[in-house]
Amino acid sequence: MKNLQLFLMCAFIIFGVQIGSAQKMYEWRGEDRKGCYKETNLMKKWPDKGPELLWFTEEIGSGYAAPIITNDKLLVNGNADNNSYLFAFDLKGKLLWKAPNSIEFIGTGYANNFPGSRSTPTVVGDLVYTLSGKGRLACFELASGKEKWAIEMLKDLGGIENDFGYSESPLIDGEIIYCMPGGPINNVVALNRLTGKTIWTSKAMGDTTSFCSPILVNLQSSKMMVTYSRHHIFGIDVKNGELLWSQKLENYKYDGEHCNTAIYADGFLYYVTADENGNGTVKLEIAPDGKSFKEVWRNRAVGNGFGGFVKVENHLFLTTNKKKLVSVDINSGNVIDSLKSNEGSIIFADNMIYCYNQTGEMKLIKFENSKFTEISKFKVSMGTKEHFAHPVIADKTLYIRHGKALMAYNIKEI
């Protein structure tokens, strides 16, 4: 009996240590990368001029990368003098440190119109991981900005840069960080996130990279990573990089990039593309072992390039390249309702849709009884160039990045 009690006590202590050592992760588009924020007691209507502006900064350099917010810091990538920097602020907008991460993406030809940062950092415990537009993946100490390790996806991993640079937000699971150099041999790579050392490499599709941030999918007995290459969406086994399945992205256009992070829920994968008469919005049923899929439906008429989408109960919400906000029924693929809206980025919190469109309007929208109602809107006047960055909600604050400007708005219910 005493031995049993001792065993149970030791097991309890070990279990408690494991739970206590679990490290909080902050990443692109919130929990599971789904764009749905678990905030409550948020304003259901804004003043005519918008919510109170708590603070703003123009110290972040140029770019399109969304910020990440921890319990006491804000991290964001920016381009200054053609160099990539990771900036750290406190939650009142004071710059704490900035860390260089080599040169930033500038582009040539048409892509030269869109220089600057792309990737949202990922924070795990006391470390932050970030990727420059030229493919330098680096790990920094969260407290100081001191670099721990870095790897060049072009030079070190044989990657192939696409026309608009590297954009994926680092995907981490435990002590592994996944990245997609896009080369013919090291197409997808798993690294030790504490050292940067290679764990495995995968040829995958052997295709060039796209503009997408990948997701992890928990299957019955394994895990799968899902992302886009330039011409396919595909899934690989995270244990060894084995290619499990792929689907071709139809009617690919040369200057189009597949940017929208897919969403997995209840055995189904949803994804959105923008190619004209291409895949559009698609629902796939993934086999329990992840080795095959069945297409359930596709709606070619509904698509966007990089505004993302959210799944809320039985609906997908997204803006389209036909200047509409739409609700798509997840069972049929049919559009349930639509609202006139310029294309833009979508997130969801406290039963409200937040739409930051490419004309700089930030909208608050209600979906009730299968109908959209626009509740409030305001114009984002500060900042530079395109309104492409995805908004973020944390601790009842709405964060919007517009080029060189980053703004924090109080959206706490009064």
**DSSP line for 4-36:** HHHHHHHHHHHHHHHHHHPPPEE-TTSGGGSSE
The pLDDT score that the predictor gives to residue 15 is 42
Any domain includes 7: no
Widest pairwise Cα distance in the chain: 76
Counting the structural domains of the chain, the total is 1
Tell me the torsion sign for CA atoms 306, 111, 168, 290. Answer: positive
pLDDT computed for residue 321 by the predictor: 86
- Counting every residue written for the chain, the total comes to 414
Amino acid at residue number 196: G
Are 265 and 312 in contact by the 8 Å Cβ rule? The answer is no
The pLDDT value recorded for residue 255 is 57
What is the per-residue burial (b if ≥16 Cβ within 10 Å, else e) of 386-408? ebbbbbbbbebbbbbbbbbbbbb
Report the C-alpha gap between 202 and 400 in whole angstroms: 36
Q: At a CB cut-off of 8 Å and minimum separation 6, what does 299 contact?
A: 280, 281, 282, 328, 333, 334, 335
| Kind and range of the H or E run holding 75 | strand 74-80
Give the C-alpha separation, 281 to 316, whole Å: 9
Secondary structure letter of residue 175 according to DSSP: T
Contact 163, 201 (CB under 8 A): no
Give residue 276's pLDDT: 72
Which range of residues forms the domain containing residue 189? 28-410
Name 28's bridge partners: none
Report the pLDDT value the prediction gives residue 252, as an integer from 0 to 100.
72
Nearest Cα neighbor of 378 from 393, 348, 394, 398 is: 398
Nearest to 110 by CA among 254, 305, 306, 250: 254
Structure tokens at 42: 């948020």
> Is 200:234 a contact under the CB 8 Å cutoff?
no
5 within domain boundaries:
no
pLDDT beneath 50: ranges in the chain: 1-2, 4, 6-21
pTM of the model: 0.93
Q: What is the CATH number of the domain that holds 34?
A: 2.130.10.10
Query: Has residue 10 been placed in a domain?
Result: no
Residue-wise pLDDT for 148-195, tens only, equals 999 999 999 999 988 889 999 999 999 999 999 999 999 999 999 999
CA distance 213 to 76: 16
Residue 20 lies in a domain: no
Q: What is the pLDDT of residue 275?
A: 75
Q: Residue 288 belongs to what H/E stretch?
A: none
Count of CB atoms situated within 10 Å of the CB of 175: 12
Q: Give domain status of residue 19, yes or no.
A: no
**Residue 22 counted as domain residue:** no
pLDDT score of 285:
98
Pairing of strands 392-394, 335-340: unpaired
* Residue 47 forms part of a structural domain: yes
| Interior/surface letters 111-144, b for 16+ CB within 10 angstroms, e for the rest | eeebbbbbbbbbbbeebbbbbbbbbbbbbbebee
Give residue 18's pLDDT: 41
Instruction: Say if 262 falls within a structural domain.
Output: yes
